[in-house]
Structure 1
């Protein structure tokens, strides 16, 4: 399931999916989430927090679900994920996108539920 939600304080639709997903899943102020990501990227030696490897290092320590491809079968889609995980808070690494899923609902500025899910991190309420 999908519900339109934009964590950006000015409601701007921009290419900030990492910040929106982290802010939404952790229930953190958008600007605070962006400051934290910028601080962490420097600390971890990345030039951008949009780097996929940064995401993996940033979320290290959180329970991680990996959805490996199975030959001859389609990958799990965001819509499938919401049905399989109706409870809990997750950050989803999808094909070319990152989003938040809370209690079986993808919260984002656009419906990305058709995209393949590669990895999901379960985010506890205490981030």
Structure 2
């Protein structure tokens, strides 16, 4: 299931999916979240917080679900994930995108439920 939601304080649709997803899933202020990500990125020695390795380090304290490719079978899609996980808060690493899923609903600025899910981190504040 998908619901349109934009955590950006000015409602701007921009390429900020990492900040939007983390701010949404952790219920943090967007600008505060962006400042925190920039600070952590510098501390960990990354050039950007969109780097996949940065995300793995930043979210490493959260339980992680991995969805490996199975030969001959389609990968799990965002829509499948929402059905399999109707409760809880997750950050989903998808094909070329990051989004938030809360209680079986993907919250984002566009419907990305058709994208494959590679990893999900459970956010347990």
> Same fold, TM exceeding 0.5?
yes
Counterpart-to-counterpart distance in 2, 1:113 and 1:3: 10
Please report how far the alpha carbon of residue 49 of structure 1 lies from its aligned counterpart in structure 2 after TM superposition.
0.5
Name the counterpart of 1:102. Answer: 102
TM-score calculated relative to the size of structure 1: 0.98
Counterpart-to-counterpart distance in 2, 1:39 and 1:117: 27
Counterpart-to-counterpart distance in 2, 1:91 and 1:73: 23
Please report how far the alpha carbon of residue 74 of structure 1 lies from its aligned counterpart in structure 2 after TM superposition.
0.1
Residue 32 of structure 1 aligns to a residue whose secondary structure is helix
Counterpart-to-counterpart distance in 2, 1:50 and 1:37: 10
Which 5+ residue runs of structure 1 have no aligned equivalent? Answer: none
Name the counterpart of 1:21. Answer: 21
Q: After the TM superposition, which segments of 4 or more aligned residues of structure 1 sit over 2 Å from their partners?
A: none
TM-score calculated relative to the size of structure 2: 0.99
Matches within 5 A, 1:41-120: 41-120=41-120
Counterpart-to-counterpart distance in 2, 1:47 and 1:96: 18
Residue 49 of structure 1 aligns to a residue whose secondary structure is coil
How many residues are aligned here?
125
RMSD: 0.3
Which 5+ residue runs of structure 2 have no aligned equivalent? Answer: none
**Cα deviation 1:62-101 (Å, max 9, x = unaligned):** 1000000000000000000000000000000000000000
